[in-house]
Amino acid sequence: MCQVGEDYGEPAPGEPTPTPRPSREQKCVKCKEAQPVVVIRAGDAFCSLGAGPGCKDAALEDGNRDCFKAFYVHKFRAMLGKNRLIFPGEKVLLAWSGGPSSSSMVWQVLEGLSQDSAKRLRFVPGVIFVDEGAAFGKSLEERSKTLAEVKPILQATGLPWHVVALEEPRLDPQSLASPPAAAQTEALSQLFCSVRTLTAKEELLQTLRTHLILHMARAHGYSKVMTGDSCTRLAIKLMTNLALGRGAFLAWDTGFSDERHGDVVVVRPMRDHTLKEVAFYNRLFSVPSVFTPAVDTKAPEKASIHRLMEAFILRLQTQFPSTVSTVYRTSEKLVKAPRDGPAAGDSSPCCLLCMCALDVDAADSATAFGAQTSSRLSQMQSPTPLTETRTPPGSCCSPGVGRVQGCGQGACRREDPQACIEEQLCYSCRVNMKDLPSLDPLPPYILAEAQLRTQRAWVLQEIRDCLIEDSDDEAGQS
């Protein structure tokens, strides 16, 4: 990729990279007439009406051009038009975090709904904001201050909006109207405090946030969810997920559409915009945004895999400006495997947290999970030898034996919540959950789903021997 000693015309180590500035002789790459005011990449300079009074007057003399805005809007509309996944009248939930990319996405939708738009957007949007303050240990006063900045922006959009806390209960849709109880806030705070590494915290936060947004979408009748993932952010995410062992799911995690959740599809219409373009657009056209601290705010570069990969990509981008676009174009070539799971109408297992297909063979003892399972089973007491006779559930262990310690049979393993959850996680999620001392603090809806899946699998195993299967001859005669 890079050869030592070659001259790329780059500044010496330690020197800042100079920002290219349009010269007076340079013209806009689109209209070839107006003086450019925005440089996206080397050689890609655009004029814009939003660059100031002087530039606005000059652009008006040239025919009221705004080439940068036209370029920016076209990329957003082209991404939606090329994929054709959102239909007229469909309800779409816009996931707004307050950051630049998601704010720009909401602004693009608002402009697309206006009467002045050449091709109006035909779907019905709504906006959701997730308050994640409990995961960071923020006080009620700090969270209230953030919501005081968020709500006026949501009200100004004129769209239906929802503000929910990360600790909102997810079992009863009627409970969404009431704020979370103090016990739920404390439970979520303790959950994140118990996680050992920042990498696992970021993955867990992303999972819980996605679960809540999907739950709200289902509760209010939205069939699509839009996220503001930019090209730069997706390039960082692709490299991060490779390091986290999620290589099998890159097409779902970074593609335009994500259908793993079945009835609700996640789309990423901002995936063609770089963070630099987003920053220019928000600045020129006064797109409002709100800064909300993240779990890795002020964290050192090597605090987590996410932070390390972000610093690596952005530093490489400053030296080689095609880095982000190269990684992004690579992600476009990834092909999704045939969907097996709830969305396809079958009973193929999927990960309890990320909802991707299970990519770990439980029978393969060579995997990390196989070694972990063998270690746990070896610690179990076995007061009686295994026989061919089936033992009723709960009667094979002597009284007083704890959940983890038992005879090791299927019935005892069903009583071990740690094993029940871990065997329903993909490889990446299992590795992350190793940084959680106990899985008991997980939200109740996750524990309930794990128990339900385990019970269904046990019942299916119990009745499988009693099922009558048609032979080949009988199937041919029928």
User: Pick from 295, 43, 332: which is nearest to 193 by CA?
Assistant: 295
The band of 375, judged by pLDDT with boundaries at 50, 70 and 90, is very low
Residue 53: Cβ-neighbour burial (10 angstroms; 0-12, 13-18, 19+)? exposed
Cα–Cα distances (Å) from 17 to 316, 320, 349, 439, in that order, read 12, 11, 50, 47
CA distances from 372 to 99, 377, 430, 433 (A): 40, 9, 10, 12
**Measured between alpha carbons, how far is 33 from 133 in angstroms, rounded to an integer?**
49
Least confident of 307-316, 328-337, 443-452: 328-337
State the maximum Cα–Cα separation within the chain, in Å, rounded to a whole number.
92
Q: How far is CA 82 from CA 37, 79, 345, in A?
A: 29, 5, 27
Q: How many CB atoms lie within 10 A of CB 85?
A: 14
Question: Could you give the CA distance from residue 361 to residue 426 in angstroms, rounded to a whole number?
Answer: 10
**Closest listed residue to residue 289, CA positions, set 96, 421, 32, 30:** 96
Q: What is the C-alpha separation between 5 and 18, in angstroms, rounded?
A: 21
Q: Which residues pair with 165 in a beta bridge?
A: 131
**The pLDDT value given to residue 63:** 43
Report the run of H or E that residue 401 belongs to, with start and end.
Answer: none
> Structure tokens of 250?
């890159």
Tell me the per-residue pLDDT of 260-304, one tens digit each, with 9 for 90 and over: 998 999 999 999 999 999 999 999 999 999 988 888 888 999 999
Alpha carbon separation from 412 to 98, 349, 373, 388, 447 (Å, rounded): 47, 21, 14, 16, 17
CA distances from 186 to 164, 266, 303, 426 (A): 16, 30, 25, 28
How do residues 167-188 score in pLDDT, each as one tens digit? Answer: 987 644 444 445 777 888 999 9
Q: With 70 as the cut, is the pLDDT of residue 242 above it?
A: yes
Model pLDDT, residue 412 = 44
CA distances (Å), origin 179, targets 42, 86, 211: 50, 32, 18
| Residue ranges, CATH 3.40.50.620, the chain | 68-336
**Token pair in block for residue 374:** 């063998």
Closest CA to 389 of 411, 417, 365, 422: 411
């806030």: which residue's tokens?
Answer: 185
The answer to pTM > 0.85 is no
First and final C-alpha spacing in the chain = 62
Q: Which helix (H) or strand (E) holds 266?
A: strand 265-267
Give me the mean pLDDT over the 113-138 stretch.
88
Q: What architecture does CATH give domain 68-336?
A: 3-Layer(aba) Sandwich (3.40)
Task: Answer yes or no: are the C-beta atoms of 177 and 219 closer than 8 Å.
Answer: no
- Give the number of other Cβ atoms within 10 Å of residue 149's Cβ: 14
Query: Which range has the worst mean pLDDT, 319-323, 403-407, 448-452, 471-475?
Result: 403-407
Distance CA 121, CA 90 (A): 11
**What is the rounded CA–CA span in Å between residue 286 and residue 281?**
8
Q: For residues 248 and 246, what is the distance between their CA atoms, to the nearest angstrom?
A: 5
Give the list of residues 6+ apart from residue 449 with CB closer than 8 angstroms, or none: 352
Which residue's entry shows tokens 């002020």? 298
* Structure confidence by residue, pLDDT tens digits, 16-65: 455 556 566 678 888 888 888 888 877 788 888 765 444 444 444 444 46
What 8-state DSSP symbol labels residue 163? E
As a whole number, mean pLDDT of residues 354-375 equals: 59
